[in-house]
Structure 1
Amino acid sequence: MSSTLQHLVLSNGLRVRLWHAPHLKRCAALLRVEAGSHDAPPAYPGLAHFLEHLLFLGTARFPVEDGLMRFVQSQGGQLNASTRERHTEFFFEVPPTAVSGALERLCDMLAHPLLTLERQAAEREVIHAEWVAWSANAEAQRQYALLRSVSAQHPLSGFHAGNRDSLPIHEAAFQQALSEFHRQFYQAGQIILTLSGPQPLEALARQFGALFAPGRKVRQSAAPPLLDGPLQPGQIEGQLDMLLAHEDLPDNASFDYLSTWITDNRPGGLVHELRERGWLQDLACTVPYRFAGQALLHLKARLSTTADRADVEGLIRDWLAFFGKADHSALLLEYQRLQACRSPGALELARRDDGVPIVPEYPGESRHPWKFPEPEPLLSAVVAQTPGTPVPTGLAYSPVLPASGEYAALYIRWQAEHLRDVLKPLSERAKRIGVELDWTRSANTWQLRCCGAPAMVLGVVEQALRTLENPLAVGATAEPPLIPLRQLMQQLPKVLAGAGQPGWTALATGFDAAAGNALNHLLGRLAGTPYKPSRPRLLPSQWQQCGESGGEQALLLFAPVADEAAGRLLAHLLQGPFYQRLRSELQLGYAVFSAFRQIHGYSGLMFGVQSPGASHAEILGHLHDFFARPALLPETSRDNLATQFHASVMPHADLAEWLWQAHLAGDDQADPQILAARIRQLRQPDIDRARADLASGRRWLILANGPAAPGFLPSR
């Protein structure tokens, strides 16, 4: 889908990029400050990351209760920030009607922060908790060790995370350094603001970009060479890590082109060859560091037990030598076709790298008979003309998503033991052409989700079903370990899946008559008994221990609700105060969240806490205390939430997922406008009843990395 990019520079020096994409349903902002952890004073490692945290704690104009985080959450948006080595990013995505309020808050909090000592003391504890978790995380330590394999003179080999010891907030010299860092780098000349959305955004960029003090771009200190000898990253069992250093890249060079082809899994390429030999599970290509012509390319290969690391590395280097010296004329055209078929969301578009594809030359001569893949046939997929076919019993169609030919979604759910995890290669191919193919398992429940342009979806689904009928052996991919709270979140769908009903059920939306007929023909051949789901029964309260207690205690609470509208509005009202109370005031840890979730047809409120200091019993006590507090219903909250379910602002993927969850709950007539109307009808007594039901604990499903805490009363 078409989008145009405009560049401009404001009078105060702020650089602006404007992506105009009429098809988008949301707007996004990405604000990059060209200063990161390597620009902080060496005496205070972590100062840049610390400042990033402090900026979210409110300003004189927008206190924390009305700051960016609360505002974006109230609009159903998303936001985050990240401190990298030489830049810091702040970003959000919201409905178009909310972009003005969000952008004003973002610019104000960066330009006019309140860096009071009280706020610093509280946030330093959060930074320290992050550092404790980072120190205990094997994958994080692995990445740190890889970066330390460069020259000892380069700042990449140093410590920049920040903790209590490196952030002496009571010292005058530290406070002066913090203020000077903000003054020097958080000014207009050091900032790039990118906005994307369906409407003109230049006026907003000029209005709120003017909040920054005028300035010129500061020349960031140059880094020494990445290498003072050969790169020799340490290796771990079952994995090959290769680092490739570059010193003189053009500023607009992009590694996306190289990444696209080195990870291509079709015949003739590197991934296909390694998998054919039974050596490779997965290959990833990332750029963990880039600044002023320098770049570090990381190739991470997850290996099978039969692989020889030296042989795998030899083939990778052989392919790189081939790639650098080959004729790229046809491949560049194919790359342009791939880029054109992708339809990024607002935030993805704001983050898009519009640099020039490069073909880096690597040493050596290729000896293997590599070849570039043939043009991707799925790019040319068309809807097959098939005889009229009745709708299979297990398939339901929803008319909510328009049959415009731009986006369609298909969900299929099986209750079966014979299915296997064999769709990863196809999922990788589909992603390249802008089609999402997910194949997931919870207990004995398998789910296929395929979304994108209807003709391409049909082509991918046809290949997926053929693969499932005649599966070839595919080795399971070893995933990096997750933090305890994310492990619990991963386990929850397996708990809720239960025994299930044997057979299959499906939902389709966004298909026109011709595409629907082709889909009927495809699914009519599915093996197994089709069925129509019914609403799952509400669960009694229970506590399940998942995993062992470690250095941090994690607890995940899911409370199913019978009334989705009231549950959503209550979750909407609790999200900000929950974060404020348990993370900011009680300082339980950095991993604290609440949200409304739908899983396997269950709708409910979810609360998660991971703490390095509080026990499970203490976390449970804080939850009881929080739920006992009243939840007041402002008029604006009800309208803000209802507006998020308008088809004009609800992203296609979110709408399709909501329809699928309604299908699993036995409702094939679900309409988001009906839900929006129900939300607008709610009043304070409705919220009081929903809050009282939540506080009762009658239907609490708790997953924790420890045994049931004293005070938890399961249903009998």
Structure 2
Amino acid sequence: MSSTLLHLILSNGLRVNLRHAPYLKRCAAAVRVHAGSHDAPTEYPGLAHFLEHLFFLGTTRFPVADGLMRFVQRQGGQLNASTRERTTEFFFEVPPAAFPDALERLCEMLANPLLTLERQRAEREVIQAEWVAWSGNTEAQRQYALLRSVSAKHPLSGFHAGNRDSLPIDEPAFQQALAAFHQRFYQAGQMTLSLSGPQPLDELEQIAHVFGTLLATGTRIKQTAPPALLDGPLHVPPIDGQLDLLFAHEHLPDGADEAIDYLTTWITDTRPGGLPAELRRRNWLEDFSFTALYRFGGQALLHARLKLSPSADAVEAEALLHDWLAFFREVDHSALLLEYQRLQACREAGASALEQARRERPFTALDQQGQAALRVLLADAGVSRHPWQLPEPEPLLAATVAEVGASPVPAGLTVSPALPTTRQYAALYLRLQFEDHAEHLRDVLKPLIERASRAAVELQWTRTANTWQLRCTGAPAPVLAVIEQALSQLGEASLAEPGAEPPLIPIRALIRELPHHLLAPAAPGWTALSIGFDEVAQNALNLLLTNLPGNPITLQPPTPPARQWHHHAEASGEAALLMFCPTPDEASGRLLAQLIQGQFYQRLRSELQLGYAVFSAFRQIQGHNGLMFGVQSPNASHEEILAHIRTFLARPAPQLGSAREALAAQLAEPAMANADVAERAWQTHLAGNDGLSLEHLAATTLTRQQADIDSAWERLRSENGWLLLANGPAPESGWR
């Protein structure tokens, strides 16, 4: 599954990267602007982030209702933007047929935004809400404290998120600065456009020429070099139960980005002989990460985060990390370089169109330049005294499917034909029902999950009440290898106490809690669904599941939930409300969700300014079809949020228009992401509707009329079956 890469520069100065990957089903575009929060005027912190928000508020040619966000949502795609210290990025992913229209909207909004004061006032309140949430988020404040460890003269130690006070939009000087920032940096010479998809390179090139030239002609401006990261020793603020180590580097050579990725790959390797394995052997480590907090020019600030157990010796843990770095500097890298090359090939094969478009550098081996940069990174590593070992070659990277001959499908396994085997994407969903919660199983597969991700295999292991679910997706051969190891490790699991789970923002905590209230009771045992395996691979999977302990079970169709309000956790500065509304008819539910998604966002987020976390979507959870609404607000109460949702639903039913044709096209397997095809197959299995294929759903969608939408809308408004989760008590009578 190889891809082809082409680089070119358009006549207006725009740098373009094109990637043709015939195995992709979707297309993606990413525009990287070489200017970020540190390039904004120091007197207006947050100006760059503010401008990023303003771009999504429509243009003269494409008003909000037909702008990039609404368009991509209607196509069943995804989009977002991100302001970093020295770059700002805008990106989306859509089906191929929608790609030109989406790219036109992206380039148009960057070239000709409508920066009216009315729009700025509304969006500044959204920025204010984000800042309030950021100020109360423990993890965000920890990272901010880490960044303040560098020199006070470096912009990395400053405030750049923006809020109501730092964005004086009524001052002429601020408006001049905003316009000047846009004119200076949002021109073709300061941007890079990356396109990826299954189209031939010449077709991608034509699309880039047509829409890339909408951007103003310009030349690359050299961004101002920052001062030194340090003007004294680093003082990292201590955090109970956590060890944070920072590594500041100046004057790094070319190839440093590749070297940092290579170093991160090996320092986080969980196999025996490495740093995480040694710390876990001592029962000291609960979690470990190694990331680049900052990277620009020759500077880098690297962060090693060790979440330690109460029994850990933090001083010795830090010494072991430094010792490993010294070992890594001196060891022969021949075997590691070969393994890294195989890892990169797996990463490329498993990358989505969006991941490929957003990636600044190709998935390549570490070249001589990168190896030289690695030596600079490790120059001050000291001397190693611990007997570290290099990991053995990862067998997942060389996995093959064993020929086991004909093997019958186990009684508890359903084989779905929804995904052709030519996609080279396979999935196994396995549900295990226990008598008790079996909490000791929570962290059993964590090291394997980390290893699997390196081989482009996604392994998930989640619990809902006394039900555990294993989901394994990726190329068939490594998926089978991961499943085999996962089943073995679960069978040998000991009664170990799991580590603490990381905190979530309120709305995400509610989303995690929701499946617990939709799970149908079932007898102990297991059920499973496989998809995308060819005959040889399916036989191998059948054999793996033959000896699965417990009895195969037949799931009962889920019972629609009763109208309820569940108080989960406590409000911590912000009210969060999550609402799930069952929709028995999947086709009408999907249509209704697509019709109101943009309207709901526009009303509650942009017009009412309730907060930055506002969404609505169709979701399938535990076999239930439904519309999900979510709001997290720093200024509205739960009662006020619910009142706004009710007011929104009191409006007339949305008009069907051409939505059914657009949705039916999105539901065709060749246009739908492999992971989405697999997930729907699993959800229909949980609902007891294995016969409802995508083809049937698409055909049914085309038969829906306005009367069906009206009926679905009335059912939604009736509040029957509304399931609400909130970080506060029910605000009125009538809720259980």
TM-score tier after normalising by the smaller chain length = over 0.9
AA in 1 matched with 2:184: Q
AA in 1 matched with 2:162: G
Report the Cα distance in structure 2 between the residues aligned to 1:3 and 1:403, rounded to whole angstroms.
Answer: 20
Instruction: Give the aligned partner of residue 314 of structure 1.
Output: 319
For residues 616-671 of structure 1, what are the alpha-carbon distances to aligned partners after superposition, in whole Å with 9 as ceiling and x for unaligned?
11111111111111233343211111111111111111110110001000122231
Q: Residue 574 of structure 1 contacts residue 631 of structure 1 at CA under 8 Å; is this kept in 2?
A: no
Other structure's SS at 1:55 match: helix
Instruction: Give the aligned partner of residue 235 of structure 2.
Output: 232
Return the match for 2:283 from 253, 278, 281: 278
Instruction: Give the aligned partner of residue 410 of structure 1.
Output: 428
- What is the CA RMSD across the aligned residues, in angstroms? 1.4
Other structure's SS at 2:29 match: strand
Other structure's SS at 1:448 match: strand
Instruction: Give the aligned partner of residue 93 of structure 1.
Output: 93
Report the Cα distance in structure 2 between the residues aligned to 1:607 and 1:313, rounded to whole angstroms.
Answer: 45
Query: How far 1:381 sits from its partner (Å)?
Result: 2.1
1:291 equivalenced with 2:296 (yes/no): yes
1:185 equivalenced with 2:190 (yes/no): no
Query: How far 1:111 sits from its partner (Å)?
Result: 0.5
Report the Cα distance in structure 2 between the residues aligned to 1:103 and 1:496, rounded to whole angstroms.
Answer: 39
1:696 equivalenced with 2:699 (yes/no): no
Other structure's SS at 1:451 match: strand
1:577 equivalenced with 2:599 (yes/no): yes
Query: How far 1:589 sits from its partner (Å)?
Result: 1.0
Report the Cα distance in structure 1 between the residues aligned to 2:207 and 2:60, rounded to whole angstroms.
Answer: 21
Please show how residues 199-598 of structure 1 align to structure 2 within 5 Å.
199-200=199-200, 201-253=204-256, 254=258, 255-342=260-347, 343-354=350-361, 356=366, 357-358=370-371, 359=374, 360-361=377-378, 362-404=380-422, 406-416=424-434, 417=436, 418=438, 420-421=441-442, 422-472=444-494, 476-598=498-620
Query: How far 1:249 sits from its partner (Å)?
Result: 2.1
Report the Cα distance in structure 1 between the residues aligned to 2:653 and 2:93, rounded to whole angstroms.
Answer: 26
Q: Residue 520 of structure 2 contacts residue 558 of structure 2 at CA under 8 Å; is this kept in 1?
A: no
AA in 2 matched with 1:232: H
Instruction: Give the aligned partner of residue 635 of structure 1.
Output: 657
Query: How far 1:363 sits from its partner (Å)?
Result: 2.6
Q: Residue 405 of structure 1 contacts residue 510 of structure 1 at CA under 8 Å; is this kept in 2?
A: yes
Q: Residue 656 of structure 2 contacts residue 705 of structure 2 at CA under 8 Å; is this kept in 1?
A: no
Report the Cα distance in structure 2 between the residues aligned to 1:135 and 1:381, rounded to whole angstroms.
Answer: 46
AA in 2 matched with 1:298: H
Query: How far 1:404 sits from its partner (Å)?
Result: 3.0
1:713 equivalenced with 2:734 (yes/no): yes
AA in 1 matched with 2:449: S
Query: How far 1:498 sits from its partner (Å)?
Result: 4.7
Report the Cα distance in structure 1 between the residues aligned to 2:718 and 2:623, rounded to whole angstroms.
Answer: 22
Q: 1:56 to 1:474 in 2, by over 3 A?
A: farther
Report the Cα distance in structure 1 between the residues aligned to 2:410 and 2:352, rounded to whole angstroms.
Answer: 33
Instruction: Give the aligned partner of residue 20 of structure 1.
Output: 20
Query: How far 1:551 sits from its partner (Å)?
Result: 1.2
For residues 68-112 of structure 1, what are the alpha-carbon distances to aligned partners after superposition, in whole Å with 9 as ceiling and x for unaligned?
000000000000111111111111111111111111000000100
Gaps of 5+ in 1: none
Query: How far 1:520 sits from its partner (Å)?
Result: 1.3
1:600 equivalenced with 2:622 (yes/no): yes
For residues 252-287 of structure 1, what are the alpha-carbon distances to aligned partners after superposition, in whole Å with 9 as ceiling and x for unaligned?
432211111111111111111111111112211111
Instruction: Give the aligned partner of residue 104 of structure 1.
Output: 104
Query: How far 1:250 sits from its partner (Å)?
Result: 3.0
Please show how residues 660-679 of structure 1 align to structure 2 within 5 Å.
660-679=682-701
AA in 1 matched with 2:644: H
Report the Cα distance in structure 2 between the residues aligned to 1:493 and 1:539, rounded to whole angstroms.
Answer: 12
1:153 equivalenced with 2:160 (yes/no): no
Q: Residue 28 of structure 1 contacts residue 196 of structure 1 at CA under 8 Å; is this kept in 2?
A: yes
AA in 2 matched with 1:568: R
Q: Residue 91 of structure 2 contacts residue 358 of structure 2 at CA under 8 Å; is this kept in 1?
A: no
- TM-score, length basis structure 1: 0.98
For residues 460-488 of structure 1, what are the alpha-carbon distances to aligned partners after superposition, in whole Å with 9 as ceiling and x for unaligned?
11111111111146653434322111111
Report the Cα distance in structure 2 between the residues aligned to 1:678 and 1:250, rounded to whole angstroms.
Answer: 59
Instruction: Give the aligned partner of residue 681 of structure 1.
Output: 703
Question: Greater shift after overlay, 573-582 or 282-291?
Answer: 282-291
For residues 386-433 of structure 1, what are the alpha-carbon distances to aligned partners after superposition, in whole Å with 9 as ceiling and x for unaligned?
253321111000112112371110000011134712111111111111
AA in 2 matched with 1:408: A
Q: 1:353 to 1:175 in 2, by over 3 A?
A: closer
Query: How far 1:327 sits from its partner (Å)?
Result: 1.6
Q: Residue 304 of structure 1 contacts residue 475 of structure 1 at CA under 8 Å; is this kept in 2?
A: no
For residues 588-630 of structure 1, what are the alpha-carbon distances to aligned partners after superposition, in whole Å with 9 as ceiling and x for unaligned?
1111100111111111000001111111111111111111112
AA in 2 matched with 1:41: P
Instruction: Give the aligned partner of residue 67 of structure 2.
Output: 67
Other structure's SS at 2:518 match: helix
For residues 500-559 of structure 1, what are the alpha-carbon distances to aligned partners after superposition, in whole Å with 9 as ceiling and x for unaligned?
332110000111222111111111111111112232011110000001123111110001
Report the Cα distance in structure 2 between the residues aligned to 1:582 and 1:2, rounded to whole angstroms.
Answer: 44
For residues 546-601 of structure 1, what are the alpha-carbon distances to aligned partners after superposition, in whole Å with 9 as ceiling and x for unaligned?
01123111110001111011011101111000000111111111111001111111
Q: Residue 522 of structure 2 contacts residue 555 of structure 2 at CA under 8 Å; is this kept in 1?
A: no
Gaps of 5+ in 2: none
Q: Residue 81 of structure 2 contacts residue 90 of structure 2 at CA under 8 Å; is this kept in 1?
A: yes
Report the Cα distance in structure 1 between the residues aligned to 2:725 and 2:441, rounded to whole angstroms.
Answer: 27
Question: Greater shift after overlay, 313-322 or 464-473?
Answer: 464-473
Report the Cα distance in structure 2 between the residues aligned to 1:687 and 1:535, rounded to whole angstroms.
Answer: 25
Q: Residue 413 of structure 1 contacts residue 448 of structure 1 at CA under 8 Å; is this kept in 2?
A: yes
Report the Cα distance in structure 2 between the residues aligned to 1:556 and 1:500, rounded to whole angstroms.
Answer: 26
Please show how residues 110-125 of structure 1 align to structure 2 within 5 Å.
110-125=110-125
Query: How far 1:385 sits from its partner (Å)?
Result: 2.7
Report the Cα distance in structure 2 between the residues aligned to 1:670 and 1:302, rounded to whole angstroms.
Answer: 46
Q: 1:164 to 1:101 in 2, by over 3 A?
A: same
For residues 8-52 of structure 1, what are the alpha-carbon distances to aligned partners after superposition, in whole Å with 9 as ceiling and x for unaligned?
111111111111111000111111111111111111111101100
AA in 2 matched with 1:591: A
Report the Cα distance in structure 2 between the residues aligned to 1:651 and 1:379, rounded to whole angstroms.
Answer: 24
Q: 1:172 to 1:8 in 2, by over 3 A?
A: same
Question: Greater shift after overlay, 626-635 or 578-587?
Answer: 626-635
Q: Residue 596 of structure 2 contacts residue 654 of structure 2 at CA under 8 Å; is this kept in 1?
A: no
Report the Cα distance in structure 2 between the residues aligned to 1:474 and 1:37, rounded to whole angstroms.
Answer: 45
Report the Cα distance in structure 2 between the residues aligned to 1:109 and 1:461, rounded to whole angstroms.
Answer: 46
Q: 1:57 to 1:433 in 2, by over 3 A?
A: same
Q: Residue 302 of structure 1 contacts residue 477 of structure 1 at CA under 8 Å; is this kept in 2?
A: no
Q: Residue 23 of structure 2 contacts residue 423 of structure 2 at CA under 8 Å; is this kept in 1?
A: no
Task: Tell me the percent identity.
Answer: 64
Other structure's SS at 2:239 match: coil
Q: Residue 417 of structure 2 contacts residue 531 of structure 2 at CA under 8 Å; is this kept in 1?
A: yes
Report the Cα distance in structure 1 between the residues aligned to 2:677 and 2:518, rounded to whole angstroms.
Answer: 22
Other structure's SS at 1:56 match: helix
AA in 2 matched with 1:12: N
1:163 equivalenced with 2:163 (yes/no): yes
For residues 279-298 of structure 1, what are the alpha-carbon distances to aligned partners after superposition, in whole Å with 9 as ceiling and x for unaligned?
11221111111111111111
Other structure's SS at 1:134 match: helix
Q: Residue 405 of structure 1 contacts residue 511 of structure 1 at CA under 8 Å; is this kept in 2?
A: no
Other structure's SS at 1:192 match: strand
AA in 2 matched with 1:214: T
Please show how residues 622-661 of structure 1 align to structure 2 within 5 Å.
622-661=644-683
